[in-house]
A and B are shown apart, each in its own frame.
Chain A
Amino acid sequence: MKHEPYLLPNGRVLRYSFHERMIHWMAGFSYLYLLLTGLAFWTPSLFWLALLCGGTTISRELHPWFGLVFVVAVFLMFGMWGRQMKETPADKAWWAAIGHYIRNEDDKMPSADRFNPGQKLLFWGFFVNGILLLLSGLILWFPQYVPWSLHVVRPLAVFVHAVCFLLTVALFIIHVYMGTAMERGAFGSVIRGDVSRAWANHHHHSWYQQILRDSESQK
């Protein structure tokens, strides 16, 4: 899918289109409900979270439906971002320099395209775990339809669901931290869609330079 980010008349850069932002928050809000209800079922000390999510039985009823919404959003993301998330040979150098990134020594980082390799990891992490959570979740949704001769798949589904849940929580913590506190300006890009030119140049240098080249050639 060809995506066309462009320079805005107010001197800013469109980072995410309205369509992309809507799908991001379709995933975001459904994941939040899944996370809170999931944590409630995960450990007795957080069972009270189910009360915040509509009650204990309501939480159990709605969790799978929100799961479907989340998986649909993940598949839509795959459709619009899958190609841009492909690993490139340049990603190795970025990962090799990850220590600089963590220490905010961004001037020592190789330049990133529209999505940096960390964002690609987040995307594929949610994509793969999303599929596994869907498959195991379908068994957890309807355990009564699993015949007793196949009952071994029930504990397997429970275990896979729990492991994938933990992996997405790790991704989620890092994603929310980076998208709000750590990278100033990133949260706005997924709300109103735009970032400053300096932000685009700093965080996604290769992508921004391509935008500049495209706008030059269109003149």
Chain B
Amino acid sequence: MSQAATEIIRISGHAGSVPGAGIDREFQVCKLVDTTTCIGCKACEVACLEWNGYPFSQTTFNNSYQTMPETAWNYWNLIKFNEHEREDGSLMLLMRKDQCMHCEEPGCLEACPADSAIVQYANGIVDFQEEHCIGCGYCMTGCPFNIPKFSPAARKVFKCTLCNDRVSQGLEPACIKTCPTGCLHFGTKAEMKELAETRAAQLREHSGFPDAGVYDPPGVGGTHVIYVLHDAKNPEAYGGLPKDPHIPWLVQLWKKPLRWIGNLAIIGGVLGVFIHYMRYGPKVVKEDENHGGTQ
């Protein structure tokens, strides 16, 4: 985003072409999570808390390594641990770092009624502006990934910012910086997509995972967090990653056709009674009329 200020497109009194003209700059950022090299160390969980200034939360033990059942308003980054039985009977421990996916078509933003409470930056980051949040929770209804969480104390909703404060200063997100295995990568969307596809091809061809693939769901226009999965045909096995996420169709119906029909009906109703009054006027009762003395 900030790089746009360094890109020259016209030069005064300059003979010849503009240096660098025609270069296609890629501003869209992307986080790549390679679930096949995650070791479940949770360093990303800690780095997220440290950078964002939240204390370590109460953990929940549920016969799993998982810190808690789902992300919380002050716990934006959670590795989901799932034991998975393969067709040959062998077991796999699937570990997927769960966080905001930063959708290209964000359901939270679509559902939000509060002016300026959710913004989408040109680099793809979807960010909540808590000072404008009214705490209605519609974002929680619009999100297909169960990410925005309500804080009972603040009475507002919070979620992962993709470290917008770091990224805007040219740094990688805190989780990326801390990852010890290199399973987390950060770069432009095009680079990450290419890296992910290369890794998926490697898994398919050399590691015995014929269904390995990249998770970049088209139902929400693609995401700015993408996964490499051993089995891209079964994302649900990775702690409930939806197979075909999209903005709930009732939310789309509510925000587009119903809003227009409703607004037209309200305006039409007010105009209708006004026109009725102009045409027919009030019902006037003559006070001298015979009011029921006859029986």
Contacts and interface: CB of A to CB of B under 8 A. Distances in A.
B113 A42 contact: yes
A144 B149 contact: yes
A66 to B, nearest CB: 15
A143 B150 contact: yes
Contact of A201 (B140, B253, B292): B292
* Category for how many chain A residues contact B: 35 or more
Interface of A: 40-44, 47, 50, 56-57, 59-61, 102-104, 106, 140, 143-144, 148, 151-152, 154-156, 158-159, 162-163, 166, 169-170, 173-174, 177, 181-185, 196-203, 205, 208-209, 212-213
A156 B113 CA distance: 17
B265 A170 contact: yes
Max count, chain A CB within 10 A of own CB: residue among B253, B259, B283, B286: B283
Contacts of B150: 143-144
Contacts of A155: 141-142, 248-251, 254
B146 A209 contact: no
Contacts of A148: 70, 146, 240
Interface string B245-278: 0001111011000110011011001101100110
Nearest to B273: A177
A162 B135 contact: no
* Category for how many chain B residues contact A: 35 or more
B140 A213 contact: no
Nearest to B253: A159
A61 B252 CA distance: 25
A182 B282 contact: yes
Contact of B137 (A43, A140, A173, A182): A140
A201 B288 CA distance: 12
A177 B273 CA distance: 7
29 contacts: A56-B132, A59-B134, A106-B283, A143-B137, A148-B70, A148-B146, A154-B140, A155-B250, A158-B250, A158-B251, A159-B250, A166-B258, A166-B262, A166-B265, A169-B269, A173-B272, A174-B273, A177-B277, A181-B277, A181-B282, A182-B282, A183-B282, A183-B283, A198-B288, A200-B292, A202-B289, A203-B283, A208-B291, A213-B295
A197 B134 contact: no
Q: Which 5 A-B pairs have the closest CB atoms?
A: A155-B250, A155-B248, A177-B273, A143-B137, A201-B291
Given A159-B250, A173-B269, A184-B283, A208 B292 contact: yes
Contact of A61 (B114, B137, B155): B155
Interface of B: 70, 111, 113-115, 132-138, 140-142, 146, 149-150, 152, 155, 240, 248-251, 253-254, 258-259, 262-263, 265-266, 269-270, 272-273, 276-277, 280-289, 291-292, 295
Given A47-B113, A143-B141, 19 more contacts: A42-B262, A44-B113, A103-B280, A104-B280, A140-B136, A143-B137, A154-B248, A155-B142, A158-B111, A159-B253, A169-B265, A170-B265, A173-B270, A196-B291, A197-B292, A198-B291, A201-B289, A201-B292, A202-B283
- Grouping DSSP codes into helix (H, G, I), strand (E, B) and loop, the A interface class, with mixed when no group exceeds half, is helix
